[in-house]
Amino acid sequence: MSQQTDTRRIALVTGANRGLGRSTALKLAADGVDSIITYRSHEDEAKAVVAEIEALGGTAYALRLDTGRIEDFPAFTDEVRRVLKEGWNRDTFDHLVNNAGHSGNASIESTTVEEFDDLVAVHFRGVFFLTQALLPLIADGGRVVNVSTGLTRFTSPGKAVYGAVKGAIEVFTRYLAVELGPRGITVNTVAPGPVATDFSGGLVRDTPQVQEVLGGLTALGRVGQPDDIGDAVSLVVAPEAGWINGQRIEASGGIHL
């Protein structure tokens, strides 16, 4: 399908009711990009993000989605088609940001099969098959951004499975970039370092000692804020970034250099 350049761009951002996804959707709105955001729980937060986007002059919809439940993807795709037609009179959107996820914290020795399968289901299988389901709805010339982690380059105790599944996403990104190249769609990874969000129970956000230690490992001397990552994603999907493709872009303030 051809990209419809006579309208505002539209992004679909998963897990955007809080944290990095919320910041991404709001940064895109400030750049004139409308959004379909998803949430697994906390519908009130998602509605608040929609209201913030509307206050910035944009259009937004919030749809419930559990990225670990691939059996729900056909119905979700139908919902996306519905709101595209209702909100924009379109049958495509421009940017897919695969952000939704959660952390895991267990040593290799203590990781259970259930913990392993849960991280794979959300961070790899879910991203793969959700992207597959939505490919017909992404406009030619669009963008796909997969959110990874700095933990694919360096290690931290208890993050073996989480880092490994994000590593799989980085490989998937390169393969997807090749397959979508004929459609003019770029695919990149944004890999955050430590960010002050509620991720991992808000450990970085709520613990000054952790911020001091991790910030001291970065060249810029601080941990990241959600807007740092929202800014990075907005740069990658910008029209001027069309020659950046198949890349892992680490947004970490230069940690462990």
Domain ranges of the chain: 10-251
For the chain, the C-alpha Rg in angstroms (whole number) is 17
Which residue in this structure is represented by tokens 């697994």?
40
Amino acid at 38: T
194: left (phi over 0), alpha (psi -120 to 50) or beta: beta
- pLDDT (0 to 100) of residue 2: 31
Report the predicted TM-score, pTM, of the whole model to 2 decimal places.
0.94
Compute the residue count for the chain: 257
Over residues 52-107, the pLDDT tens digits come to 999 999 999 999 999 999 999 999 999 999 999 999 999 999 999 999 999 889 99
| Token digits of residue 237 | 């999907």
d(CA 190, CA 82) in angstroms, rounded, equals 29
d(CA 225, CA 205) in angstroms, rounded, equals 9
d(CA 204, CA 244) in angstroms, rounded, equals 31
Strand order in the sheet with 34-39: 60-64, 34-39, 10-13, 93-98, 138-147, 186-192, 248-251
For 10-251, CATH number? Answer: 3.40.50.720
Q: Which residues are catalytic?
A: 162
